[in-house]
Amino acid sequence: MTATHTKLLIIGSGPAGYTAAIYAARAMVEPTLIAGLQPGGQLTITTEVENYPGFANPIQGPWLMEQMQKQAENVGTKIVWDLIVEADLAATPKRLVADSGTVYTADAVIIATGAQAKWLGLPSEQTYMGAGVSACATCDGFFYRGRKVIVVGGGNSAVEEALYLANIAEEVTVVHRRDEFRAEKILQQRLFAHPKITVVWNHALDEILGGGTPPAVTGARLKNTRTGETMELAADGVFIAIGHAPAIDLFKEQIKLKPTGYIWTEADSTKTSLPGVFAAGDVTDEIYRQAVTAAGMGCMAALEAEKYLAELEVTAEEAAE
């Protein structure tokens, strides 16, 4: 078992993690970043990004994350393609174990693990996962060229998925349990104006239908949220787009959480309930959840971690005198 120590360990490689790494490396902290299960975060499954400042024209999400990675490396960040599977954040120094077996100790930690797609919890979701059920249009939309698909949800995620799929599929039906969307108005306008997209209001996904060998989705049974009546809708694919949950499983028993399940931080700060542990990006932000706000929080976390490490060093020097 290999053991290695670093002043600052950053967990996660989305906009928050990479930005924290860039700022920390430029401050000569020599951070180590553990990329995690999905290097680059959610932007790696996003095609056109048109709301990240600095680019006049839409850019590709994977390209943006690749540039952030290279920038972090160029200024001195050590990036490790591994996954943290154990963590003791109350220890001094912090102790974390990677899937490779490597034990990392760190004086400070920035948690930037982001969020993951939510599922409805229907047994049929699991039955047809990868066989017509998906939570990522940009990953799997290619397989539905000229076919009919259903998108479930009513927030930004659902509307963005539907708009993306409308460029590929023959027909897109958005199923929402309420009578209005929560998505941004500009996205709603685009969706309502698209000739390939229709909306089924006040309905929830009751069951995903399918069969055959190998198994494949043939449609969905929808339930009216007001009357309880059901209806069936033919489709070749069902995309679940009901939002995301913070990736906190490793830390939830050690650190204070908000009532929403996201990591709690001090007001106007990335400091968590544990000294030397900071949180940035979607793992703590249930309100904005944007790439640019995640990057901003990554900057904040790096600056606060740098200050913490400097104070730690002064305390150690005074104790040695």
Active-site residue set: 136, 139-140
Distance of CA 29 to the CA centre of its chain: 26
- β-pairing, 171-175 with 197-200? parallel
Q: Is 8 helix (H, G, I), strand (E, B) or coil?
A: strand
Distance CA 321, CA 319 (A): 6
Helix (H) or strand (E) holding 34: strand 32-34
**DSSP per residue over 131-153, as a string?**
TTEES-HHHHGGGGTTSEEEEE-
Can you say whether the dihedral through the CA atoms of 274, 278, 281, 287 is positive or negative? positive
Distance CA 38, CA 12 (A): 8
Q: Is the peptide bond prior to 214 cis by the omega test (within 30 degrees of 0)?
A: yes
First to last CA, the chain: 35
Give 13's Cβ-side CA count (13 Å radius).
Answer: 29
β-bridge mates for residue 24, sequence order: none
Helix (H) or strand (E) holding 69: helix 61-74
Q: Is 89 helix (H, G, I), strand (E, B) or coil?
A: coil
Helix (H) or strand (E) holding 237: strand 237-240
Q: Is 256 helix (H, G, I), strand (E, B) or coil?
A: coil
